[in-house]
Amino acid sequence: MARHRIRDEIRSLDPVRDNQRICYLDSTFEFPFDMTRALEFALFRTFASERISSLLARTGEFTERPQKRYDDTDLIISEIYASGYESERGLAAIRRMNQQHGRFQIADEDMRYVLSTFVLEPIRWLDRFGWRPMDAEEKRAQFEFWRQVARRMNIQDIPESLEAMEAFNQAYEAAYFHFAPSNHRVAESVREMFIGWLLPRPLRFLGRPVVHALMDDRLLAACGFPPVSPTWRALVEAGVRLRARALRFFPPRRRPLLRTQLPRPKTYPDGWELEKLGPEGT
């Protein structure tokens, strides 16, 4: 089966030397849905730090134009995954990301934390909810991939191993995860955008408890969201895991799912250009 061939190819590759190929296969064949959901929930973790959310609230990008801000971020990350960080397109995507960040004074510690969520949240999500977890080689490739991206973004003091990045991630959250009005403002806006993809405004109250159930208690508190009962959390998580078990019986993906080719009717009805992603004037 194609699914087995892809996994066999991944296992034949070196996670350091071939990290771009492994991440391409994972993000477009093996786990396109799960990696996207993981990175969406990774956004909430960045909002739980007042140091990050206060900047995002001031710019208004996630509160006033959340769909465009999401699409711009999704397209840049998807381009890097699809093309690789050494390609002309991948380097252009990284350059565009640097141009957007360069307008602001952002601490390297905060940039390292955001980077750590790109590495760790897909691994964690797949461990909990994937049709299979990432192999050790895939986890190492994920780390090496984003470490190379970080170097091209001039992020300093990048952890030297996946274990060191995990330790940094946990220490950052212990130090900076606490409630702030800006956390809630940005997180609420993005939560409503996600729910709005599936439910009309009068029914969004049905989706909020589901989103909350996929967050841990510390994240909920820092975002100002209500606590979730253990029973409700277990039910929602069981539903997501049921989807993963069912997926094992689906036919394997024969063509890559490239998010860069998905239509963006609300923000880019006539198509998009990499050099024009992000706020005007950047």
Beta bridge partners of 177: 49
Phi-psi region of 178 (alpha: psi -120 to 50; beta: other; left: phi over 0): beta
**Considering only CA atoms, which of 173, 77, 67 is closest in space to residue 119?**
77
SS3 category, 146 = helix
Residue 268, Ramachandran bin (φ over 0: left; ψ between -120 and 50: alpha; else beta): beta
Least confident of 50-64, 72-86, 171-185: 50-64
* pLDDT, mean over the chain: 94
Domains in the chain: boundaries: 2-177
- Percentage of the chain with pLDDT > 90? 87
Q: Does 1.20.1630 match the CATH number of domain 2-177? A: no
What pLDDT, on the 0 to 100 scale, is given for residue 1?
Answer: 44
CA distance 216 to 196: 22
Tens of pLDDT, residue by residue over 48-76, are 999 999 999 998 889 999 999 999 999 99
